[in-house]
Every structure is written in structure tokens, then in C-alpha cells.
């Protein structure tokens, strides 16, 4: 187990040119950060190395994870993921950069449970990119079923992602398994493809894996808004996301939390 308790990554900001300008150096600095933020979904990707080493492929089939992002991880800096047995057959996870705690979480392999049926969250049509409403309490009303984002990752996209997140475990390439970081990325797309956002911040997710996704699967993020609220001047949205493969297999259930309107933008 000792070899599974530390994972070091030269962090890389995959989203510097994305629509979410919190990942852009100039914009992020206006928000008080040192530079563009490495996306939380990639920090989660770094974190998954430890539970996969600890529990094996079974964690990708049925594991649990909870992650909270407290401080930024910056491009080019060393992110250190450490894990500690929690005494309950799980791991407590911590991500540090320059000895500052950036993220915390836990992971475990709970007893097998029936996956939710794919019909548990309905599908809906995505709005056109130009037709998305601005993110607001009105457009993110709890109970709203969001448009369903769908994609199929190519072999080349998988290979590029493994390089970008510095993934050292061989099973993703040899078994053609979709990386859990890409699965969590779909929850971001469920939000960003339905409403028009300014700079926004992913602050945490709870994930229960239910099945492997593999290269060539048609993946969909079925999502519903579960909460929208203000806290410390920020406006938050929470989503319930069911990631499915080929409209017949439930791959993962995700509770996704984001600051969709940081207090720095309110009134400005």
C-alpha cells in the first residue's frame, strides 16, 4: 500500500483557451489568483491515481469518491496527491502545491449496488450555443431538467488526455477505458452547454461509479438542477448528473457543485 499513497504531477491547465475565462491568466489575476486555474476536473483526475492503485479496476466499476477544491492548482507547478487509510476501508486524499492544501477528498470501494436506471433522469434537447440563457436563479431553477450533452471520445482524444493529466497507470490505454477525469468533465459540459457563464469555479463533486466506459461508447450527461443559492456573495448551482453509455448503461452518478457567479462579478 505504501507505493499507492503518493502521486506527484506536473500540473497542466488544459483549459487555458476555454470559454471559462477563470482558466485564463489575465482574467484569473483580476479575481485575485496568481494565474489561470487548473480545472477541478483535472485535479480530480490526478486524485484518482491513488484509489485505482489501491482498489484496482473494481474502483472504476463501482467506486466512490468525494472531492472538494479549496485553493487553486496552477499550471506547471507540482501537485502532490497523498492518501491515508481512514480506518473504514477507504482513503482520505489530499492535494498540495507548495505545501498548501488545494483539495481534499475521500475514496472507497463500497458494496456493490444496483446502478440507477438510465431513465432516472430524463433527456432533453440542448439549446443552441447562441440561444443559451444567462446563468441566473431563473435559468437554474431547482428541478429543471437540463439539455443532454453527448459525445464520443476518439482514440486520439483519449491518448492526448492521458498525456495531459500525466496518467502513469497503463490500464486506460491497454484496456481502452475512458479515464474518470473525462467522465467528470461531462458534468461541466452539462452546465456550460445549457447556460451562458462568465468566469466560474468548480468547487466539488461526489461521484459513484457504476460501470466502465470504453473507447467508442456514446456518452451522455443527463442532468437536473438540484439547488441554486447564494453563499458569502457567490451564487452556487448544484447538479445531479447521470453519465450513461449508449443510452443503456449507467456509468456514473455525480453530484456537481459550482460557483456559477463569483461575488467578484456581482454588480459588475
The string of DSSP letters for 75-90 reads: TTSEEEEEEEE-SSSE
In degrees rounded to 5, what are phi and psi of residue 259? -85, 105
pLDDT band at 212 (very low <50, low <70, confident <90, very high): very high
pLDDT, tens digit (0-9, with 9 covering 90-100), for 218-264 = 999 999 999 999 999 999 999 999 999 999 999 999 999 999 999 87
Average pLDDT over residues 140-168: 95
Q: Could you tell me which of 138, 130, 179, 189 has the C-alpha nearest to residue 159? A: 179
Please provide the distance, in angstroms rounded to a whole number, between the alpha carbons at the two ends of the chain.
50
- 18 falls in which pLDDT band (50, 70, 90)? low
**108 has a pLDDT exceeding 90:** yes
* Structure confidence at residue 151 (pLDDT): 97
Residue 267 has pLDDT above 50, yes or no: no
| Residue 97, pLDDT above cutoff 70 | yes
Decide if 42 contacts 12 (C-beta within 8 A): yes
- Report the CATH fold assignment for 2-110+119-265: Thiol Ester Dehydrase; Chain A (3.10.129)
Q: Given strand 201-209, what is the order of strands in its sheet?
A: 6-10, 78-85, 90-97, 100-108, 64-69, 201-209, 249-261, 234-245, 219-231, 149-151
Q: What is the pLDDT of residues 59-89, one digit of tens each?
A: 999 999 999 999 999 988 999 999 998 877 8
What's residue 60's pLDDT? 97
pLDDT on residue 2: 41
Burial class from Cβ neighbours inside 10 Å (0-12, 13-18, 19+) for residue 216 reads middle
Residues 6 or more apart whose Cβ sits within 8 Å of residue 73: 11, 37, 38, 43, 79, 95, 97, 102, 103
Amino acid at each position: 500500500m505504501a507505493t499507492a499513497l503518493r502521486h506527484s504531477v506536473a500540473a497542466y491547465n488544459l483549459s487555458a483557451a476555454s470559454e471559462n475565462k477563470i482558466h485564463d491568466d489575465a482574467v484569473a489575476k483580476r479575481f485575485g489568483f496568481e494565474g489561470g486555474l487548473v480545472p477541478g476536473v483535472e485535479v480530480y483526475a490526478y486524485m484518482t491515481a491513488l484509489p485505482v492503485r489501491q482498489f484496482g479496476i473494481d474502483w472504476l466499476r463501482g467506486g466512490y469518491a468525494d472531492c472538494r477544491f479549496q485553493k487553486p492548482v496552477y499550471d506547471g507547478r507540482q501537485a502532490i496527491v497523498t492518501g491515508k487509510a481512514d480506518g473504514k476501508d477507504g482513503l482520505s486524499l489530499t492535494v498540495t502545491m507548495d505545501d498548501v492544501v488545494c483539495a481534499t477528498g475521500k475514496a472507497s470501494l463500497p458494496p456493490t449496488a444496483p446502478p440507477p436506471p438510465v431513465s432516472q433522469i430524463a433527456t432533453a434537447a440542448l439549446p443552441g450555443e447562441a440561444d443559451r440563457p444567462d446563468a441566473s436563479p431563473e435559468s437554474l431553477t431547482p428541478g429543471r431538467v437540463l439539455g443532454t450533452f453527448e459525445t464520443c471520445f476518439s482514440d486520439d482524444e483519449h491518448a492526448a488526455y492521458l498525456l495531459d493529466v500525466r496518467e502513469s497507470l497503463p490500464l486506460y490505454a491497454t484496456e481502452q477505458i475512458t479515464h474518470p477525469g473525462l467522465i467528470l468533465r461531462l458534468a461541466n459540459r452539462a452546465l456550460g452547454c445549457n447556460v451562458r457563464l462568465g468566469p466560474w469555479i468548480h468547487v466539488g463533486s461526489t461521484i459513484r461509479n457504476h460501470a466502465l466506459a470504453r473507447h467508442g461508447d456514446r456518452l451522455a450527461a443527463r442532468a437536473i438542477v438540484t439547488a441554486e443559492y447564494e453563499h458569502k456573495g457567490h451564487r452556487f448551482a448544484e447538479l445531479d448528473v447521470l453519465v450513461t453509455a449508449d443510452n443503456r448503461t449507467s456509468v456514473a452518478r455525480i453530484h456537481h457543485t459550482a460557483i456559477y457567479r463569483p461575488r467578484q462579478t456581482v454588480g459588475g
